[in-house]
A and B are shown apart, each in its own frame.
Chain A
Amino acid sequence: MSDKNRICKNPRQRKKMSASKAIYPILAMAGMLFFYGSGVLKPALASEPAVNCNAHEGVCSLPLGDLEVTLEISPRPVKAMQDLVFKVSITNHVSANPPYIDLGMPGMKMGPNRVLLESTGQDTYEGKGVIVRCPSGRRTWFADVIVPGSGAVKFVFDVIY
């Protein structure tokens, strides 16, 4: 039997498609709900951290115990998929170890994306990094600024795709 006949001239067989294959689209549906649910609907959940920094406007500041941590990302507006410079300054910072930044998306695993900072003066640090693009369309990112010996602060901001 030719390939064409096998494909086109056996409608009864086509209708009797193996019912066991029902699991395939069910899994597709589950995957879709998992991915798009986690990617699109989660921002509406109360557990998501709220945006606390308008990175497009300039410097953002947050307290960390007795310290004050400021973050500036340039160039502005802050866009994904381009080289960015992260500047951090910490008031009264005495640790010998420089801070560093972990970038990520709230509620979505994006893999480790760490920006190492180097001292550029008293209490000021700078490093280069990239915020990648998420095909889900979500634009909210966070930058955890980790200050060794003191803890971490989370800057949550929107980026432009």
Chain B
Amino acid sequence: MSWPRTERGRLVASAPVTSVGTPAGTHRRRAVRAVAVTVASVVVLSVAGVALVGQAVRGNRTVSVQLAAGTRHDAALDDAFYHCLDVQAHSLVAPGRTVSLSTDNLADVVTMIKGFGSWVTVADPASSADVVLTLRDGVTGPDTCLGTRVVGTSVGPDGHKVVRVGTGASVAGTGPPPAPPL
């Protein structure tokens, strides 16, 4: 399309041209095109609608799985396990005392971080810690968190090592709780 220009080369307003050909041909093409657009709209709307509804139903089922008895049991056990570790750690660390987490077992470090990493005052350097916390796994008997106990090691007033075992909570059973989805 060419736009009329003045002698100075500026564009001026004018009625633009939108179609060529005979009026009859134009009307026919327009009608065909309108029908095509309507058909395409209906097809796209139908396909998109069916797909969205189908996936929404699937999504609804996925959410419902979260309410299954097994999922609830696993979640409750997981919660109880880490709450138990939290309480035992609290029994070993007085307010204001610095802590280091024993790095002998990487999995245990992660478990300790999950259990009580949010509130302990981590010492830097680790050697300056008032209490070294570690986990003792595979313990049988009462007062354990699914067979795990939190153990605190500190230096007593006489310079000797003092090893204390966490108290205040327990979860009967053995082994770590079922792993939640990663």
- Binding partners A and B: no
